[in-house]
Amino acid sequence: MTPSSLPIAIVTGGNSGIGLETVKLLAKDHLVYAIGRNPATLHALEGFANVNPVALDITDFSALSAFTSPLTRVDVLLHSAALSVPSTTLEATPELWQQHLNVNVIAPAELTRLLLPALRRSSGKVVFINSGSGTLALAGHVVYSASKFALTALAHALRTEESEHGVRVATVAPGPTDTPLNQATRHREGNHAPIDPRDYLTASSVARAVRFIVDSPEDTQIADIVVRPRRDKAKR
């Protein structure tokens, strides 16, 4: 198929971690718009076939509207961009709360709203990358956890709202994953020790779960996938 005839996929956080690995998988048979903020990593995506790097701040809602307005058909929308800054309730400022809610909840909600006509037209799929923190809040991560709880609610409500329009909605909730976001979070907590690979998923493994959802047949609605490392500390 020519690029113009390929299904359309949009991936936020598409230049790093789980988003980047998903872009690589989807680009095999989709035209992928990989949204990111880092010009250097976006530039590296220019060598990939069927990938259009898009420099965009997803919290700039006017820019989101300008980006989405020409799109008349979207087959896959993956929300992978996220912010995670460790904080207790005592330490968290209103600014920190607003930053997390803007990136982790409001931007995905607004981008989805803008693209719903295009998603309905193709009976598309919306996939949210959530977290174990979206169902179990951890001390010291109150702001991030609360935003991911809100993202869980958004996904559940959207699934019910859009079922009659043919849009399917799924959540992938990874356990600890070796990504730049996870590394930055660990460093903010003062933990610079090397990770044990047995305790962490790879971003490509989580991306395969997303691809599984994308490839699911028309008679299925995959709602939630939880992906954990094989050596799961949470269960020991």
Catalytic residues: 144
Residue 226: both structure tokens together: 């939880």
The 3-class SS string of the chain reads CCHHHCCEEEEECCCCHHHHHHHHHHCCCCEEEEEECCHHHHHHHHHCCCEEEEECCCCCHHHHHHHHCCCCCCCEEEECCCCCCCECCCCCCHHHHHHHHHHHHHHHHHHHHHHHHHHHHHCCEEEEECCHHHCCCCCCEHHHHHHHHHHHHHHHHHHHHHHHHCCEEEEEEECCEECHHHHHHHHHCCCCCCCCHHHCEEHHHHHHHHHHHHCCCCCCCCCEEEECCCCCHHHC
What spatial distance separates the first Cα and last Cα of the chain, rounded to whole Å?
48
